[in-house]
Amino acid sequence: MAALCLFLSVTAQTTGTKTKVNPPIKPLHIGQRMPEVVLTNLHNYKTSSINLADFEAKLIIIDFWATWCSPCVAMIPKMDSLQKEFKHDVQFISVSYQSEKEVTSFMEKLEKQKNVHYSVPYSTDDNLLRFMFLHKTLPHYVWISANGTVRAITELKEVTSANIDKMLNSDSFTLPEKNDITIPYDYNKPFMVDGNGGNGSGLTYHSALSGYVLGLKSYIHLERADSINVNGLMISNCPLIWLYKLAFGNGYSRFYGNSRVHLAVRHPEEFTSRLSGNAYLAWLSEPGHGVCYELRVPRKSTKYLFPFFQQNLAMLFPQYSAKVEKRKVKCMALIRLPGDDNIKTKHPDSTIIESVDPFGFTMQNGDLESIMSQIQLKYFQYSAIPMVNKTGYRNRVDLKIKANLSSIPDMNRALEPYHLAWQERIEELEMLVISDADPISESTKKGL
C-alpha cells in the first residue's frame, strides 16, 4: 500500500484536526466549475492569501497532504521540480488541515535535512477545500483548468510531466479518477447504531462486524478511558490481518508488525495485499478482504478489551487459529550500553508526552516499548526484521532524540549519550502465528 496513507487516530491527544466544521458548499466533481475561493494561511508565497482566480491562464494542481503521510512527503521534491519545469503554465499548491505550527516546523526540518528550499506554496489550517473535494486517503490531487473547471482528481502516479503537458495542450485529455468516495462518519460514536445519529450514551458494551463499506475511510481509532487504558476501538475498511495485529498486540502497546506475523494459511491473499492506489481499494472491497469492526466495553472493564477482542475473532472467524509463540529470528534489538542511568523520568507525576516525526522524538514520562512500536509502525513497517526492546528497563523515561528515524546509524548516534543503541541479534521472540483451524498436510505446508 505504498501510495496510500491510512488515517490513524488516538483520542488521548487533542489536535486541530478534531474541529467539527460544516461543509460551506456542496462537494465538487470533475466537470464542475470552481466557485471563487480565497486561500488564507498561505506560506512560501509572496502574499499570505490569494484568490485562486488570480492564477490567470494557469493549470492549478492542488495537493492535499499531511506531514505524517510518507508518500505525500516523497512527492514534495517531485512537485518542486514540476513547478519549475512548468512555471509559466502550472501552479502547484499544497493544502493541509494541519496547523501552521506543525507544517512550517516540518518543512523547515525537511529543507534543512535535504539542504534545499522547495518552491511550492502551501496553505495550512484548511477547513474549506477539504470539504469542497472530499477524500479519505492521502495524497489527493485536484486539477483545475485555467477557466476554473475541475479537470481531474487523481492519485500521485498521475502527476507526471507527460500528463501535465497533455492536460495543457488538449481539452479532451482525461486521467483516471481517484476512487475516493467518502461519507461523513463520527468515530467517537458507536458504529451502525441508530444510523450513527444517536449519542450512544446508554451503551455499555458493543461489538459489531461488517464487510467493506463504500465511502468509509481506512481508519483505526482507539478510544481511551485515560492516558493508558483503552475502552473502545473502531477499525474501518482495513484488511483482516489488522484485526489480529491489534487484538494480540493490545493495540499498539505490543504491536505485531509485518515482521512479527507468520501467516501459515492456505490463502494468505485473504489477509493482506501489497497493491496500491485504486488496485488496492478494489482488492479491499472484495468480499472477505476489507472489514469493519467495533468493540466498546465499560471503563471499569478496560483490562478485558483485548481479551474480548481475541475471543470475538475466534468466534467470528472459526476457520482460523491465532496464537503467540516464541521463535528464534534475526531482529534489531534496543539495548542499554554501560553507563549511568540518565533516562529515568524526572517528571513521574506529569502527563505522558510522546511527540514523533521523521526527524526524531520527544518523550516525557514515557515508555520505551511505546516509542519503539511507533518507530517500527511508521518508519520500518515493511522491514522483514523485527524491532524489539531488550534493555530490560521498566522505568518511565525522558528522551529527546534528533535523528532520521528511518536510519539505524543516525538513531544510534543520537541514542549514544543516553547509553542506548540498536544492535542486530538473533533472539527468541514472540511471534503472532495465524493458521488454518484444521490441520495442514505436509504437502500443503511446503507450498506456503
- What's the rounded Cα separation, in Å, for the pair 161 and 85? 8
Question: Would the CA dihedral through 372, 377, 378, 384 be positive or negative?
Answer: positive
Global pTM value: 0.67
Phi and psi of 85, rounded to 5°?
-65, -40
Let me know: does 411 contact 354? Beta carbons within 8 Å: no
pLDDT by residue for the chain (448 residues), tens digit each?
A: 334 454 443 332 223 333 344 444 688 999 999 998 998 899 999 999 999 888 878 999 999 999 999 999 999 999 999 999 999 999 999 999 999 999 999 999 999 999 999 999 999 999 899 989 989 899 999 999 999 999 999 999 999 999 999 999 999 999 999 988 777 678 887 777 777 756 666 778 889 999 999 999 999 999 888 877 889 999 999 999 999 999 998 887 777 888 889 999 999 999 999 888 899 999 999 999 999 999 999 989 999 999 999 999 999 999 999 999 999 999 999 999 999 999 999 999 887 878 889 999 999 999 898 888 888 888 887 788 999 899 999 999 999 999 999 999 999 999 999 999 999 999 999 999 999 997 554 444 444 4
Using DSSP, state whether 194 is helix, strand or coil.
helix
In angstroms, the Cα distances linking 83 to 27, 32, 79, 99 are 27, 25, 6, 24
Strand 353-357's sheet: what is its strand order?
353-357, 360-366, 397-402
Strand 219-224's sheet: what is its strand order?
7-10, 219-224, 230-239, 290-296, 206-211
pLDDT of residue 206: 87
Q: Find cell 470552481 and name the residue.
A: 34
Question: Would the CA dihedral through 32, 37, 40, 45 be positive or negative?
Answer: positive
pLDDT of residue 352: 81
Burial grade of 208 (CB within 10 A; 0-12, 13-18, 19 or more): middle
pLDDT of residue 448: 44
In angstroms, the Cα distances linking 249 to 253, 306, 355 are 6, 8, 21
Q: How far apart are the first and last CA of the chain?
A: 22
The CATH classification number of 7-169 equals 3.40.30.10
pLDDT of residue 123: 96
Let me know: does 295 contact 207? Beta carbons within 8 Å: yes
Among 115, 120, 132, 116, CA closest to 90: 120
Neighbour tally for 32: CB within 10 Å: 12
Burial grade of 349 (CB within 10 A; 0-12, 13-18, 19 or more): exposed
Which residues are bridge partners to 362 per DSSP?
Answer: 355, 400
> What angle in degrees, to the nearest 10, is found between the helix axes of 100-114 and 70-85?
70
pLDDT of residue 14: 29
Output the nine-digit C-alpha cell for 220: 483505526
Output the nine-digit C-alpha cell for 69: 503521510
pLDDT of residue 190: 76
Amino acid making up residue 307: P
Q: How many angstroms from the chain centroid is the CA of residue 271?
A: 19
The DSSP annotation for 136-186 comes to: SSBSEEEEE-TTSBEEEEE-GGG--HHHHHHHHH-TT---PPP--------
Give the H/E segment covering residue 74: helix 70-85
Output the nine-digit C-alpha cell for 79: 512537485
pLDDT of residue 25: 67
Neighbour tally for 276: CB within 10 Å: 16
- What's the rounded Cα separation, in Å, for the pair 393 and 415? 15
Every domain of the chain and the residues it spans: 7-169, 183-318, 322-436
